Copies of this chain bind each other. A is one copy, B any other.
Amino acid sequence: MIARTIGAALTLALTAITANAQAPSWTVPAESARCPSKWGAADERGSMNHQKPAAVQKAAQLIKSGEVIELAHVLGPSMAFFGTRRFDVHTKRTFMNQFSNMRGSNEEIIITELGQVGTQFDGFAHQTHLDSWYNCVKVDENSARDGFKKYGVHNVGALFTRGVLIDVAGFKGVEMLGDNYEITVEDLEGAMKKQNITLAAGDAVLIHTGWGKLYGKDNPRYVKSCPGLGVKAAEFLISKDPMLLGADNWPVEVAPNPDKQLSLPVHQLALVVNGVHLLENLKLDELAQKGVSEFAFVMQPLKIQGGSGSTVSPIAVR
């Protein structure tokens, strides 16, 4: 075969007609402003650069009683799904191996958006601004039919770091924040002061909104909207240099955004602009009830080759 050399140039010209519309309250920084990322032009790890032995040592020192608190919901067809996602389990018939020990074998075939269902970790391949990912890699360069070439979740590795719970619902004195309540910087600062905690670089920062009470109980309401971080609150947390931001709601951030021109801007702010991972649909009721503010956070994303994220079952250990 004679090799063909193809130079392909993709230009996407965007002409947004904005007459009569207010400017949106937040815009994705220009590529020149956000790339290279603070971790360097070739970086693919973003906030996971914090995952070093020192982070593990620090977290291990928080383990005292040995109590493990699970932070994941059960994975099944009746959990809350965003859009058309699903988790279908089809058990196979018991297969009987016809040997003297008559060994029956069972298994199941599962069909799911494995990177984006249940308690779930977001990699950087999940989100773009237009055709551009974290560190300004382009969609067409990075996409294949069977996985993403860069930022695949198989490269992330385990998280073992200090975890902090910021109990905003507790601070506000409610079981659950309102259906589209935007968490503010003041809420975060107030809750941390009340809990007597501070943030450090490399922390896994988990936000308790109480919204998780609806998960599996009232799924339509759970996914229709949710309380969560606003852009300002997310910028505040990101300025503390965390390893990830997580919450007991489906997008970490408030949804829909109060600015109707914006679609989940914190996703772009965290994943595209700053290279900070997100963790969604956490089960945080037990941590909050027990008043646990600080713990060893351990999470093992599946090593899905080229995956956009991974369903996970993280734990808090103290």
Chain A residues at the B interface, C-beta cutoff of 8 Å: 1-2, 4-17, 21, 24, 26-28, 51-57, 60, 63, 65-68, 70, 72-77, 84-86, 88-116, 118, 125-131, 139, 143-148, 154, 157-158, 160, 256, 260-265, 267-268, 298-309, 311-315, 317
B108 touching A115, Cβ below 8 Å: yes
Cβ of A65: which chain B residues have Cβ within 8 Å of it? 53, 57
Cβ of A143: which chain B residues have Cβ within 8 Å of it? 91, 93-94, 106
- Measured between alpha carbons, how far is A141 from B142 in the docked complex, in Å? 21
A14-B102, A100-B4, A313-B303 are known contacts. Are A68 and B157 too (CB-CB below 8 A)? yes
B108 touching A111, Cβ below 8 Å: no
A67 touching B56, Cβ below 8 Å: yes
B101 touching A26, Cβ below 8 Å: yes
A145-B93, A300-B313 are known contacts. Are A109 and B113 too (CB-CB below 8 A)? yes
Q: Report which of B15, B57, B128, B303 forms a contact with A66, defined as CB distance below 8 A.
A: B57
6 shortest A-B CB distances, which residue pairs? Answer: A53-B66, A76-B305, A56-B66, A104-B128, A99-B263, A57-B66
Cβ of A100: which chain B residues have Cβ within 8 Å of it? 2, 4, 16, 24, 27, 261-262
A111 touching B113, Cβ below 8 Å: no
Cβ of A98: which chain B residues have Cβ within 8 Å of it? 4, 6
The main secondary structure of chain A at its interface with chain B is loop
Cβ of A12: which chain B residues have Cβ within 8 Å of it? 8-10
CB distance from A136 to the nearest CB of B (A): 13
CB distance from A287 to the nearest CB of B (A): 15
Q: Number of copies of this chain in the oligomer?
A: 4
B299 touching A300, Cβ below 8 Å: yes
Cβ of A21: which chain B residues have Cβ within 8 Å of it? 2
- Residue of chain B at shortest CB distance from A158: B315
CB distance from A66 to the nearest CB of B (A): 3
CB distance from A154 to the nearest CB of B (A): 5
B304 touching A89, Cβ below 8 Å: yes
B130 touching A102, Cβ below 8 Å: yes
Cβ of A146: which chain B residues have Cβ within 8 Å of it? 76-77, 84, 88-91
B262 touching A147, Cβ below 8 Å: no
Q: Report which of B89, B105, B145 forms a contact with A95, defined as CB distance below 8 A.
A: B145
CB distance from A296 to the nearest CB of B (A): 8
Q: List 17 A-B contacts (CB under 8 A).
A: A6-B14, A9-B12, A26-B101, A53-B66, A60-B66, A73-B303, A76-B154, A86-B88, A89-B307, A94-B128, A99-B262, A101-B262, A101-B265, A102-B129, A105-B127, A108-B307, A302-B311
- Measured between alpha carbons, how far is A96 from B128 in the docked complex, in Å? 9
Cβ of A27: which chain B residues have Cβ within 8 Å of it? 100-101
Cβ of A262: which chain B residues have Cβ within 8 Å of it? 99-101
Q: Report which of B24, B86, B304 forms a contact with A75, defined as CB distance below 8 A.
A: B304
CB distance from A274 to the nearest CB of B (A): 15
Cβ of A6: which chain B residues have Cβ within 8 Å of it? 14-16, 98, 102
- Residue of chain B at shortest CB distance from A7: B15
